[in-house]
Amino acid sequence: MTKTILRALAGETQAVPPIWMMRQAGRYLPEYRETRAKAGDFLSLCYNSELAAEVTLQPIRRYGFDAAILFADILLLPQALGCDLWFETGEGPRLSTITTADGLAALKPKDAIHDTLGPVYETVRILSRALPREVTLIGFAGAPWTVATYMIAGRGTPDQGPAHRLKAEDRATFSGLIDRLTEATIDYLSAQVEAGAEVVKLFDSWAGSLKGQDFDDFALRPAKRIIAELKARHPGLPVIAFPREARARYVGFAKATGADCVALDNSVSAEWAAEHVQKDGCVQGNLDPSLLVTGGPALVAETKKIVSAFSNGPHIFNLGHGITPDADPENVHRMIEAVRG
């Protein structure tokens, strides 16, 4: 097993941690902006297999990251289930909403998702052929809770309030939606693996707004079910889980769900996570993305501090959240140099 990411996910401590970045294919790169203009709009880019593969490869060519993550979007799955999806320029995604039992019943069966998502699988196939052999290919999906928050509200919200209200007022419909998304996510990620993804990542971007039993029911249990089923279908498949802003609930999350690695946001310190989370296996993270905007000595110092904090166990260097459009591409080079020395 020569790929550094796979070695970290198998529990190996490495002198120099492997590195990739969330949203590494994106708007901070001029070559991405050119390709997106060629596609016409964001969704057209996601569904154009050749161009989606191209933007996935761009940061690998520029920076030599140890992993490439499939270029797609977590909301392609609800679209495949029958929701209307569009993007408002400068504002983000919009969806038709699912807030009633009738709306839930009207969703397409999970088997129908592949009709829509075929171009995504083709992107994975292209990448599995085109990537340098030392680079790991990561597939991904949104976790059920996070995807549900968009489906219920019809857009992103600051506090996921509409989803919390539906959870309180009509728990049967809400739970049914989580179950439908869990089943569809298993099939979606499994198809990515069959197409060539070597690792999959589950993004639960809004996990931090779930508290107590709700966290167990709607963040932890769906992740456990997805991971168990994927590993049953694809023995040896490594899975990264990202319950963002879980804070104290990061502790024990890998053991509870079967994840091979827990990705950490930058609301927790690397020192704390090394003591409480890394003892259970690989961790990924967790540089503040704003440092790639500001750069300077602070970027280098914080990068080295994180590498040092996690140096006694398996670690994949990454950001605490996705790189932002205003990041300086040169600062990414500086970060990589600080990691690799």
Which residues does the annotation mark as catalytic? 23, 27, 36, 73, 150
- In Å, the largest CA–CA distance within the chain is 57
Task: Compute CA 176 distance to the chain's CA centroid, rounded to the nearest angstrom.
Answer: 23
Task: Compute CA 28 distance to the chain's CA centroid, rounded to the nearest angstrom.
Answer: 18
H/E segment holding residue 69: strand 67-69
Q: Can you read off the two tokens belonging to residue 299?
A: 């970027």
User: What's the CA gap between 242 and 257, in Å, rounded?
Assistant: 11
Decide: 189 and 226 in contact? Cβ < 8 Å.
yes
Decide: 262 and 277 in contact? Cβ < 8 Å.
yes
Residue 117 CA: distances (Å) to CA of 24, 36, 74, 184, 189 = 22, 19, 12, 12, 11
- One DSSP character per residue, 108-123 reads PPGGGHHHHHHHHHHH
Q: Which CB contacts under 8 angstroms, 24+ apart, belong to 269-275?
A: 269/309, 270/305, 270/306, 270/309, 270/310, 271/309, 273/309, 273/310, 274/309, 274/310, 274/312, 274/313
Q: Can you read off the two tokens belonging to residue 317?
A: 């260097």
